[in-house]
Amino acid sequence: MPYQFIAVQDRDSIRTVTLSRPEKRNALNDALVRELHQVILETEDDDTIRCVVLTGEGSAFCAGADLGYLQRIAAFSPQENESDSRALMEMLWAWTSCAKPTIARVNGHAIAGGCGLMLACDFAVAVNQAKFGFTEVRIGFVPAIVMNLLRRRIGTGRATELLLRGRLIESAEAAAIGLIHRPVPGDELDAAVQEIANDFVERTSPTSLRLTKELLLETEGMALREAMIHSVRFNAVSRTTPDFRRGIQAFLDKRKISWKDD
């Protein structure tokens, strides 16, 4: 489908989704949230796509909520606000639970909801000059939905400090606390993202990736024994897949396997 606020490019089984509101620093509004939700649902159903890269056009990754959008929601009824909040949650959940690996190519600042959008991706590679933070409490807002993604990534203690102080941190600190996976100079960003994407396309089984992501989500928050018991079914199911048989045969034959053309 045609999009107004995002651009989509497919190449070598990798889909790149670009937030395309550079004049607004790729800030979120209801229309952009809908488009981000729609594109990840379409990607989920597209067997030609093996990996998704999310990035921003211009100097920012995503600056959070659009100011005009914030002015509008200030006049919403309680029912309208709940519906709008649920739409944001469902979009972030669709990205978080996508069966295909997702990479945030963080080309600039990721603030508030923009940082939450980054956290909905499996990996985050960011330029050194990017800044990150949840500034909602400084404008009387609550980072209610994105805090769950933040706590999942860096733990409650570190999340609490960022959420309550509302301060911005730089890439080096973001990497040190696990908020992002890798900071790089700007001229190395594309190569770093491509290296990770190539791993998914060429070196990993799509079935294994899907089952592993599903298991990670399903066992999160379980007690250890409960999680291990739950995992038995996934272990057993994985042994029956064509990918498993193909991978084991290649291992026994002592030959390399490429999953690129599957």
| Residues designated as active site | 136
d(CA 54, CA 16): 6
Classify residue 49 by burial, with Cβ atoms within 10 Å: 0-12, 13-18, 19+: middle
175 contacts 153 by C-beta, under 8 angstroms: no
Collapsing DSSP to helix, strand or coil, 134 comes out as coil
Taking each helix axis as running N to C, give the angle between helix 206-219 and helix 224-238, from 0 to 180 degrees, rounded to the nearest 10: 160
User: Of 8, 33, 24, 5, which is closest to residue 113 (Cα–Cα)?
Assistant: 33
